[in-house]
Amino acid sequence: MNVRIFIATTEGPVEVQRITKEDPDVRSVICLDGTAKALPIARAYDAFVKEPTGVVERSYKHPSFRMDVSAPITDGESWQLGAFCAHAFFAEDRLAAPGEKVDNALWLTGELDRDLNVRPVDHIKEKLIASQDLFAQMRAEDIRLFCFIPGGAGLVPEDEFLEEMTIDGDLLRLESIVDIQRIIRRFDLKDPYPVVEEDEDDDDLDEDGVIDLYKQREKDAEPIKDNGLFKSLAVGACIVAMVVGLYLQFEDNIMALRANGLKIGISELRANADEGCEKPDKIPLVRDGAAFPSSKLDGLCALEITLNNMATPTYMWAFAQRIEDGHFLLADRESLLEPKRQKGLIGWRITLPKRLSKSIDYRLVALASDKPLADAVNRMLRSSFGEDTPDWQKIKARLEEEDITVLSALHSLEK
């Protein structure tokens, strides 16, 4: 049975009437009641949808949507929980159209972070009060309405207020949540970020046999994961090894690229003769011109990529992109979502699947600017969509025109 979704606002509930996949060249947009009138939050919705800042594309693999809603949503971020859940039901063809007979409806308010945790929002009481007519209508139609609000101290209204609102836990329920998992489980939706079983080696690979960028967080620690004391020792040893390795990289000028005090570095983390990938040996690569020497996949557990900013603090972003088709192997979302000036060493680890089917040539790119980079990166990504392989020279030239320092280096993983 389909489900109706209402986004709570202080002006009253706003129903999500329809979601449509749009052309990837088009920015995502929220429109009013099927008309050509785009709402003021359309830009924020586009950023909420599109990678690398957005979570909808990450979860449902499409970069551009149009959402039609029944009434205006003017500002704020509290629409995000409702919008995401609407996408979750739409992805399974379970989003009800207006007036469609349903058993259940959802009323939601909350902001989402990139891990789909629900963050606090204001005016929850006002939103509940503004939705009293909807509550009465749902009750009259015998539709069970679930109200989801962020969890946290002081966010759940007191019992007397809930009684006044006739929130009885039966036809009208109110639940506070810290992430979307409860909604996913209750309504039997597919988990947008499923946990990968450690035994399933090939889950790291997409259908083309390449690394899936967004599984790396769960898999990052896998080579050094174990239980009990050994785990602590292994983690400690790895941290020490990483610090020593990075120091060596700096001292020996292993990562020789210089531009405005910024250096890119790559280190191999190779299976130790005794400990395997649980305690890998770190081997910094010495850059040769525009490229680092290629790495043999045999015995390679992971790659560590570093940026060392020895100049003044600046906004930075890094990504690794497969040359063949532009597929992203690594992208630092955090520094886009929470931009801050950084200095010193920043590192990322790409854990490699155990069975890679083919060699990979990729370009490692670092961007630095005096301004936050999210907008320029979004623009770059949009221009990269399409069937053709992205033209790196054009992308680079355009970034440089925006006074962004662009450093890049090539590296290959060889079968």
Q: Which residues bind other proteins (CB under 8 A)?
A: 18, 20-23, 25-27, 29, 31, 34, 36-38, 43, 66, 68, 375-376, 378-379, 398, 401
| Residue with tokens 């290629």, as numbered in its chain | 294
The residues, ordered by sequence, that sit 6+ positions from 85 with a Cβ below 8 Å of its Cβ are 5, 106, 108, 148, 180, 183
- What is the smallest separation between the CB atom of 213 and other proteins, expressed in angstroms? 24
Instruction: Please identify, using beta-carbon distances, which residue of 45 and 362 lies nearer to other proteins.
Output: 45
Nearer to other proteins, 41 or 316 (CB): 41
Q: From the CB of 323, what's the least distance to other proteins, in Å?
A: 24
Of 34 and 344, the one with the shorter C-beta distance to other proteins is 34
Q: How far apart are CA 297 and CA 375, in angstroms?
A: 35
Least gap, CB of 22 to other proteins (angstroms): 5
Backbone angles phi, psi at 414, to 5 degrees: -105, 135
Closest CA to 410 of 291, 287, 268: 291
Minimum Å gap between C-beta 129 and other proteins is 33
**Residue 399 C-beta: closest distance to other proteins, Å:** 12
The residues that bridge with 394 in the sheet, in sequence order, are none
Rank residues 42 and 221 by Cβ distance to other proteins and give the closer one: 42
Q: How far is the CB of 400 from other proteins (least distance, A)?
A: 12
Nearer of residues 200 and 401 to other proteins, judged by Cβ: 401
Partnered with residue 263 across adjacent β-strands are 308
- The CA distance from 169 to 262, in Å, is 57
Q: Nearer Cβ to other proteins, position 142 or 388?
A: 388
What's the CA gap between 30 and 303, in Å, rounded?
40
Q: How far apart are CA 310 and CA 264, in angstroms?
A: 11
| DSSP 3-state of 178 | coil
The position carrying tokens 């109200």 is 147
Strand pairing category for 328-331 and 360-369: unpaired
* Distance of alpha carbon 296 from alpha carbon 190, whole angstroms: 37
Q: How far is the CB of 98 from other proteins (least distance, A)?
A: 14
Three-class secondary structure of residue 309 per DSSP: strand
Which is closer to other proteins, CB of 152 or CB of 386? 386
Cβ closer to other proteins: 172 or 374?
374
Please report which helix (H) or strand (E) contains residue 243, including its range.
Answer: helix 228-251
Tokens standing for 104?
């259940």
Q: What's at 327, amino acid-wise? A: H
Min dist CB 35 to other proteins, Å, is 8
